[in-house]
Amino acid sequence: MRKLYFILFLLLSSTLCLNAQSTINFQAMPPVEGDMSKEVSNALKLKVEQILTRNGAAATSLYNAFVVEPQLNLLDAMSTEGLIRNVHLVKAELTLLAKNALDGSMYGSIVVPIAGNGKGSMDQTLRSLIANIKITDAQYSRFIRNARQKIMDHYTQNCGTIMQKAQVMMNTGKYEDAVAYLSCVPETTPCYEQAAEALIQASGLAKTMNCEAQLLVARKYYILKEYDKALDVLAKIPMSSDCNEAARALTDSIENHITIPRDTVQVEKIVEVPVEKIVEKEVIKEVPVEKVIVKEVPVTAPAQQPTVSALNPKISYSQNNIQVKILSCEGVEAQHAVIISFVVTNIERSDNDRTWWSFHNAIDNNGNSYTGGHWEGKSYRESTRDLPYDVPVKWKFYLTDVYDKISGLSYLKFTIRNCVVTIKDLPVTWK
């Protein structure tokens, strides 16, 4: 079931290379131009694409980790005088390199001698030389077959190192690189399912971070009251993104601040009105002073905000392996956020204390839904943290894009490890 989900995920994603299968494909890279013109460089890249397509090894995605890079090395060039134009005789070597574009790993190379001639400029001669490269040559088939086998061997023998590199990419926020790197793990390798799980995680984080980055820019313009710029940024957020609801909430808030439509022009007419000169005369008037009587009035102490425990929020669990205690739920108007503090206790022994924390969604007492937020010290709504057995761990979650002073949350859902926690009737106090 896990493998089937991963395959469906690959089919739906436009950024992944198609090698969640035994066949490994390559993307043709342009050569380092040097003294080579742009036209010659494009012609050589096109020829490599033809070779890959001929051998069923051409990648269909523009973002593919495995690439073939060509190099054209001139060995000898002679020019002879013709009747109309000079004739150039050229000998060269075509080198093809199979490698991983992300980490530079080499998986094979081939050097094929080529020769040709042409009339006119040397540039024209080189294009003619490239056009005469035989894509049906068996050498290219062997080169691709050997490169594929070396890639399979590499991933089989270095599963641990590969997963570590992917984790480093994710820890440093390079989620798109991690997606490309993990998506190239062949399904025949021992760490395929582990890579599939990490790939799904990295892809979700990449989309979330991109969406949140746009929201941050929009909020900056919102605070500066540059509403037009904020709306332009928000309009670029896809409706299918995870932060679409937060973007719509910010859009509604901006539109509420705009009292005059953007396409309306106000014109003020200045009318001159004659003004009579008025001479003011100082008048001194005696005002009687009343005697002030001080009367003591008993002052009632302000009502104390009820504690969360007194209001007794309802907490339910999908698994009987953790316990959650809400410490506070405070709204911060300046940050447009609600901060939820809680303590989690792991009541199930486990060999791995590193636990996955994930926020799902929330609904306030007015029926408004929220999907944006981040954990304490993080910038996204999913994270990992140690959760040792029988040790209370305190943490905070920041529910963002809260633009109204809501009285409480009727629904709050998040996952800790494999346990889905649902909280209902959680009041919000505002600072």
Q: What is the predicted pLDDT for the residue at 266?
A: 47
Same-domain check for residues 383 and 408? yes
Q: Say how far apart CA 240 and CA 249 lie, in whole Å.
A: 15
State how far the alpha carbon of 115 is from the alpha carbons of 74, 75, 109, 311, 355, in Å: 10, 10, 20, 86, 61
Same-domain check for residues 128 and 179? no
Bridge-based pairing state of the strands 87-100 and 66-80:
antiparallel
CATH of the domain at 329: 2.60.40
Same-domain check for residues 384 and 349? yes
Same-domain check for residues 247 and 331? no
CB 20 within 8 A of CB 187: yes
Return the SS3 of 417.
Answer: coil
Same-domain check for residues 86 and 202? no
Same-domain check for residues 129 and 241? no
Domain presence at residue 259: no
Alpha helices per DSSP H over 17-103:
38-54
Alpha helices per DSSP H over 336-387:
none
Same-domain check for residues 47 and 146? yes
Phi, psi for 68 (deg, rounded to 5): -120, 120
Question: Is the overall model pTM greater than 0.85, yes or no?
Answer: no
CATH of the domain at 57: 3.30.160
Same-domain check for residues 56 and 147? yes
Same-domain check for residues 247 and 394? no
Q: Which structural domain, as residue segments, surrounds residue 40?
A: 2-157
Domain presence at residue 165: no
Number of domains in the chain: 3
Domain presence at residue 270: no
Same-domain check for residues 87 and 149? yes
Q: What is the predicted pLDDT for the residue at 267?
A: 46
Encode the chain (431 residues) as per-residue pLDDT tens digits: 333 333 333 333 433 343 444 478 899 998 876 678 888 899 999 999 999 999 999 887 665 778 999 999 888 766 666 544 567 788 889 999 999 887 788 999 999 999 877 776 778 888 888 988 999 999 999 999 999 999 989 888 988 888 998 889 888 878 878 887 787 787 778 888 888 888 888 777 777 666 777 777 788 778 778 888 888 888 877 766 667 788 888 888 888 877 544 444 444 445 455 555 544 555 555 555 555 555 555 544 444 444 444 557 999 998 888 899 999 999 998 888 999 999 999 888 776 677 878 888 899 998 888 988 888 877 667 777 888 888 999 989 999 989 889 999 999 998 887 888 999 999 999 98
Give the strands of the sheet with 373-375, arranged side by side: 373-375, 393-399, 337-346, 322-332, 429-430
Same-domain check for residues 8 and 110? yes
Q: Say how far apart CA 333 and CA 176 lie, in whole Å.
A: 34
